[in-house]
Structure 1
Amino acid sequence: MKAIICTKYGAPEVLQIRQVEKPTPKDDEVLIKIYATAVTASDIFIRSSNVPIQVLIPMRIMLGLWKPRKSIIGLVLAGEIESIGKDIKKFKIGDQVYGLTGFGLGAYAEYKCMKENDSTYGCLTIKPTNISYEEATVAAYGGLLAFQSLEKGNIQPGQNVLIYGASGTSGTIAIQLAKYLGAKVTGVCSTTNLALVKSLGADDVIDYTKVDTLDPNVQYDFILDAVGKMKTSKLKKACKKALAPKGKYVSIDDEKLMLDSKRLDSIKEVIEAGHIKPIIDKCYSFEDIVEAHRYVEKGHKKGGVAILINKKE
């Protein structure tokens, strides 16, 4: 099978397409034919190792000191189950699935074996029926981040919610989820993304390239930093000061992403009910993985960036 190999840390050019052996599922595994994966912020960090010095050493210990321990990286997948081990109970051949591979990585390939039960090596469930495989990659990665973060806020109808980074993979999901929960939502993004964020249901939008202060009379019951703590600005500091006395401020960097298939099932239900639509910025071919990484690394994508692997017949 074809796979994208990362043999050392570095620029996007370290990624190479090679032929490797197709995996065979163990008794407690399923074999997934991958139709789409994604280029996530996590993939960029794993490939480049360009992270703050305080987390560099722990990251290298987990992922590999001089090169990724798992040469086939990739965190997100959507595809179809081709074969199953004899102990599998949750899935059957032909099931359309989506999920994350966790420390197992390996989604940058035509096939991947995964266990049916959640662990640090991944979570997997049936994908929403009304979205494409490409959109399912956004639903998995951005959905898990958004749902996990907003659950901490216990958002109630009528509350004021602000999403900083509203046009990204998790931000586009968070805007829609907060509206579904009945909140009044303000989205923060750049000029080029204002119309997109408004179309997702935001009641108000703020352009961080032009504004660095907020209305002192407005307070927020919940604020989500969907861009992470590495990105700072005067406006982000102003957002923190606009938090209501009993409000909650959450960053997607606050804790590790929980690999939870039950949460993926909840995302599936909300998407199939029409309350959330995953946003895809661009789709690249398998052969254009280097260009896809270059694009995502610029930090200006809208929603997610998918990689098409196998074509659905």
Structure 2
Amino acid sequence: MKAVVCTQYGFTDTLKLKEVEKPIPKDNEVLIKVQTASVNSWDWDLVRGKPFIVRLGALKKPKYEILGADIAGRVEAIGQDVKQFLPGDEVFGDISGCGWGGFAEFVCAHENALTKKPPNMTFEEAASIPQAGVLALQGLRDSGKIQEGQKILINGAGGGVGSFALQIAKLYKTEVTGVDSTTKLDTMRSFGADHVIDYTQEDFTQNGQHYDLILDVVGNRTIFEYKRLLCSNGTYVMVGGPFTRIFQLILLSPLISLTGKKKMTLLIHKPNKKDIDTIKNLAENGKLVPVIDRCYPLSEVSEALGYLAEGHARGKIIIRIEDKS
């Protein structure tokens, strides 16, 4: 089978399309013929080996040669202990907890990492959901304790996680301000943002507004700047950003919590099938629309990651697996 392989840390030129052995499912695994996969910042981190924390247990070369965690496809075969799926079932999920491998024509995954794809959902839409949708949901609902009527700021609201978060926040009947670049303003408005801020034209930390909840997908401001934006009992949730900002948050957030009611917290990604099902049900019922910027063939995974790294994507970037056999 064809797969995009990464055997050393570096940049997009380290990714090579190769012929590799087709995997065989273990007793509790299913073999999936991958139709689509989505690109996440985690893939880019693992290609670069940065921040250094991603090299834990894999100091000199990537632990997983085939990346790609969010996948959608059809079940090709099942292990003898599999109970939830049959060959032919259309499935999707986050396989980062069971070996990665989505940038390939076939991949094996534990059955508990997968859920059935609704008939009215495309493979592209399904592959866009697992990490971005779950991070948005967990950030707002679990870490942020979102409540109806709150004023919410989403920094990076036009990207993958942000576009899900904006829509989820509006389902809670909140007043949402979305921050992103000029090209994403219309995207944010189309999904119900009450206010949009173009960070290239306006410094959102200096406009005098205060928020009950801030969801930060970018991490491009200091923790003290975000703290000033919070209401007296507000909550800041960091979903993504450079390691220097993450380290600053880990170091200082306990001190901030001791000196007042403001909360500063870091959301750690945890694959969660139940939360994927929640996002799936919202999308299936038309309450949430996955936003897809563009699609690339398997042979152009490196180009897709390069586009992701530029930070211009509106919503998710999808890999369509081409099988010409």
TM-score normalised according to structure 2 size = 0.86
2:274 is the counterpart of 1:262: yes
Deviations 1:105-153 (A, max 9, x none): 1111111111122xxxxx2211243332112222112101101111122
2:45 is the counterpart of 1:45: yes
- Please state how far the C-alpha of 1:61 moved relative to its aligned partner: 2.0
- Please state how far the C-alpha of 1:21 moved relative to its aligned partner: 1.1
What is the alpha-carbon distance in structure 1 between the residues aligned to residue 68 and residue 35 of structure 2? 13
> Residue 111 of structure 2 aligns with which residue?
116
- Please state how far the C-alpha of 1:50 moved relative to its aligned partner: 3.0
Aligned CA RMSD, in angstroms, stands at 1.8
> Residue 201 of structure 2 aligns with which residue?
210
2:25 is the counterpart of 1:25: yes
> Residue 120 of structure 1 aligns with which residue?
none
> Residue 85 of structure 1 aligns with which residue?
79
Deviations 1:245-301 (A, max 9, x none): 111110114242111101111111111111110111110011112211221111111
- Please state how far the C-alpha of 1:17 moved relative to its aligned partner: 0.8
Contact 1:148–1:258 (8 Å) recurs in 2: no
- Please state how far the C-alpha of 1:310 moved relative to its aligned partner: 4.1
Q: Residue type matched to 1:243 in 2? A: L
Unaligned runs of 5+ in 2: 241-265
- Please state how far the C-alpha of 1:214 moved relative to its aligned partner: 4.2
SS at match of 1:3: strand
Contact 1:166–1:175 (8 Å) recurs in 2: yes
Q: Residue type matched to 2:310 in 1? A: K
* Equivalences, count: 296
Q: Residue type matched to 1:126 in 2? A: K
SS at match of 2:164: helix
TM-score normalised according to structure 1 size = 0.90
- Please state how far the C-alpha of 1:237 moved relative to its aligned partner: 5.7
- Residues 18 and 311 of structure 1, relative CA distance in 2, 3 Å threshold: closer
Q: Which runs of 4+ in 1 moved over 4 A?
A: 236-239
- Please state how far the C-alpha of 1:209 moved relative to its aligned partner: 0.9
- Please state how far the C-alpha of 1:86 moved relative to its aligned partner: 1.7
> Residue 251 of structure 1 aligns with which residue?
238
Q: Residue type matched to 2:4 in 1? A: I
> Residue 272 of structure 1 aligns with which residue?
284
- Please state how far the C-alpha of 1:311 moved relative to its aligned partner: 6.0
Q: Residue type matched to 2:116 in 1? A: I
Contact 1:9–1:49 (8 Å) recurs in 2: yes
* Percent of aligned pairs with the same amino acid: 42
What is the alpha-carbon distance in structure 1 between the residues aligned to residue 117 and residue 137 of structure 2? 16
2:52 is the counterpart of 1:65: no
Unaligned runs of 5+ in 1: 118-122
What is the alpha-carbon distance in structure 1 between the residues aligned to residue 216 and residue 119 of structure 2? 30
SS at match of 2:288: coil
Q: Residue type matched to 1:296 in 2? A: L
> Residue 134 of structure 1 aligns with which residue?
124
